[in-house]
Chains A and B, each alone.
Chain A
Amino acid sequence: MAGYNTIRGLRVKYLSADPANPEAGQVWYNSTTGNLRVDGISGTGAWSSGGALPAGRSSGAGFGISTAAVYAGGRSTTAASTSTFEYNGTSWTGGGALNTARGELGGTTAGTETAGLCYGSHTNPPGFNVSATCEEYDGSSWTNGNNMATSVSFEGGSGTQTAAFSAGGRAPSNTNNSQEYDGTNWSNGNPINTARQSLVGMGTQTAGIIAGGESPGGGSNSAETYDGTNFTAAPNMGTARYRLSGSGSVATASLIFGGRFNPPAADKAQTEEFNGTSWTEKADMATARQQLSGNRGTSTSALAVGGIVSGAVTNTEEWNVPVSIKNITTS
């Protein structure tokens, strides 16, 4: 039988104590306790409460990682907002104001806390006009970018500030439109396979995924992957829904959560993970809601922010899959 040093090309270190900052997959022998140890064993994921938004919001844009996230725009009941809130992993504080008040941003957009992007939306009434405007965030203020190629709201989108995509949405009815942003200009791309609105997008401009959404037939469980040129049907989610959100800077390790489905009309708390091959149901959020926002986190660290329960809420929930050190039992 091959030994560890043959398989890994490394010898197991004998240490008197566990190392301070072990790497995932690192193996060592703790000579004090007499245990063979390994780091990087994933535990069970669950949602816990995070800091509350300063004000109830729904349909805003979320981006950044879970300890440096941004929530921008959104609605407080009926009025679209210019507000930006920044999250440090514990609490939300005010950031720079958007130049244009906007709601129905699609939940998750693109970028990091210091290089973010939001695009599309509905403007304030009267009119509820679908908007093509785009703004870039530098961590303190918003700057208008060039308009999208097609006005859209309730879109799915993801990527970075210099390489983002938008898919589906309202324009002003359900659309199969897709668009790409190169950091300067938007251009229309190939259509998605199923026209829909209120979907979610994750991943990158060249390896993305869209999931869920609302079509005339109701909530959808379909997903499509994006390779930067074409959208291709992917495995269906377990639970059909729209006005959901998600988290995933990488499409093959992404998470979707919340949303709504009808009939019967009901908000959802369910969470599902996509690993590139299939969807797996995970633990529910504590509070079912729709029109919530996510961030550009991962399938092991995500935020669910705001949304509508009976009205716009301030709730933040944090998804975390703990990684720990375990003893290895040999026989």
Chain B
Amino acid sequence: MALFIYGTATNTGKGFFTHQDRQNFYLSGQPANVWVVGNNEKGALWLAEKNGVEKTKAEAQALVTAEVTAAQEAWDALSDEQKTISSRPSQITLP
């Protein structure tokens, strides 16, 4: 069985994920509203309750890579001066 479920969901703020959720399953937020969720019953229920759209790992990775690539292109277009106060966004490999 896969260790993780992948999906997209919009973070609605307070209560979107709770202290108890974090005790119940692994949860990691990524760019492009992608969430990596521990593959157990409570994790799957959480994604469903948040109106999440389940993705394959490859689909989720593509969304993250596209957003980071766009952010990298925006950073590359900054002046040298502006680049000194931030870091070039790094590509992320989903677990």
Do A and B associate with each other? yes
- The chain A residues found within 8 Å of chain B, CB to CB, are 44, 46-52, 58-59, 75, 77-78, 90-91, 103-104, 122, 125-128, 243, 260, 262, 264-267, 269, 283-284, 286-288, 290-291, 308-311, 315-316, 320, 322
15 A-B residue pairs with Cβ-Cβ distance under 8 Å, sorted by A, are A47-B22, A48-B22, A49-B14, A50-B13, A58-B86, A122-B85, A243-B87, A260-B87, A284-B28, A287-B28, A287-B30, A309-B30, A309-B31, A309-B89, A310-B31
CA distance A283 to B11 in the complex (A): 20
Selected from B17, B70, B82, the residue in CB contact (under 8 A) with A49 is B17
B90 touches A265 (CB 8 A): yes
Cβ-based interface call for B71 (8 A): yes
B11 touches A315 (CB 8 A): yes
A48 touches B13 (CB 8 A): no
Q: Give the A-B contact count at a CB cut-off of 8 A.
A: 88
Q: Which A residues touch B28, using CB under 8 A?
A: 269, 284, 286-288
A310 touches B68 (CB 8 A): yes
- Quick one: given A90-B14, A315-B29, are A46 and B23 in contact (CB under 8 Å)? yes
Q: Which A residues touch B11, using CB under 8 A?
A: 49, 52, 315
- Shortest CB distance A81–B (Å): 14
Nearest-neighbor residue (CB-CB) of A260 within chain B: B87
CA distance A269 to B29 in the complex (A): 10
B90 touches A49 (CB 8 A): no
CA distance A77 to B79 in the complex (A): 13
Q: Which B residues touch A48, using CB under 8 A?
A: 17-19, 21-22
Cβ-based interface call for B88 (8 A): yes
CA distance A12 to B86 in the complex (A): 58
- Shortest CB distance A131–B (Å): 13
B13 touches A316 (CB 8 A): yes
- Quick one: given A267-B90, A286-B28, A291-B86, are A44 and B16 in contact (CB under 8 Å)? no
CA distance A311 to B31 in the complex (A): 9
B22 touches A78 (CB 8 A): no
Q: Which A residues touch B16, using CB under 8 A?
A: 49
CB-CB contacts below 8 Å: B34-91 with A: 67-68, 70-71, 74, 78-79, 81-82, 84-90
Q: Which B residues touch A286, using CB under 8 A?
A: 17, 22, 27-29
Q: Which B residues touch A310, using CB under 8 A?
A: 31, 67-68, 70-71, 89
Q: Which A residues touch B13, using CB under 8 A?
A: 49-52, 91, 316
For the complex with contacts A284-B28, A286-B22, A310-B70, 20 further pairs of A-B residues with Cβ separation under 8 Å are A44-B23, A46-B19, A48-B17, A49-B13, A78-B78, A90-B14, A104-B85, A125-B82, A266-B90, A286-B27, A291-B86, A308-B87, A308-B89, A309-B30, A309-B89, A310-B31, A310-B68, A311-B71, A315-B11, A315-B29
